[in-house]
Amino acid sequence: MMVTVEISSPRFSCLKWRDDGRLDFVSPLPCPFNYGRIPRTRAGDGDCLDALVLGPRLRRGAEVVVPVQGIVHFVDAGCDDPKWVCSYTPLGRGQKWQIGAFFHVYAQAKRCLNRLRGLPGPTYFGGWLPAPGTGP
């Protein structure tokens, strides 16, 4: 399955942007992936579906059409907030481990941020889901 991803945070950026263009937060650690959104979709938090695009750094605002290789199950303040993982090549075991490790740390940081913002509900990395159309 191919999707169009609009890059909001280039690889190694510390800035996380909201769908409306406002800065959401500044991370103490840079994101090792291009991070963006899939336009004209909706996640459980009301924003567009989030997507990672593996590979070289892409500029903010770039739109790329890329295959979905899997989905990170993520819950943010009690809302389903999946992260679609996109790459032109299939994911290796090491890449899946790296993405999982990143989202374990990200969940901890996001949990703290949500508490500061007064947002209830659990925040956690829930593992991997297959890409749409690839089976269970």
What does the pLDDT read at residue 124? 95
Superfamily for domain range 2-129: Inorganic pyrophosphatase (3.90.80.10)
C-alpha dist (Å) from residue 116 to 27, 101, 119, 124: 15, 23, 8, 16
Closest of 101, 127, 129 to residue 33, by C-alpha = 101
Closest of 8, 6, 11 to residue 56, by C-alpha = 11
- Longest CA–CA span in the chain (Å) reads 40
Query: Which residue type occupies 36?
Result: G
- Say if residues 58 and 6 touch (Cβ distance below 8 Å): no
What residues in the chain have per-residue pLDDT under 50? none
Residues 6 or more apart in contact with residue 116 via CB below 8 angstroms: none
What does the pLDDT read at residue 20? 84
pLDDT digits (tens, 9 = 90+) for 73-95: 999 999 999 999 999 999 999 99
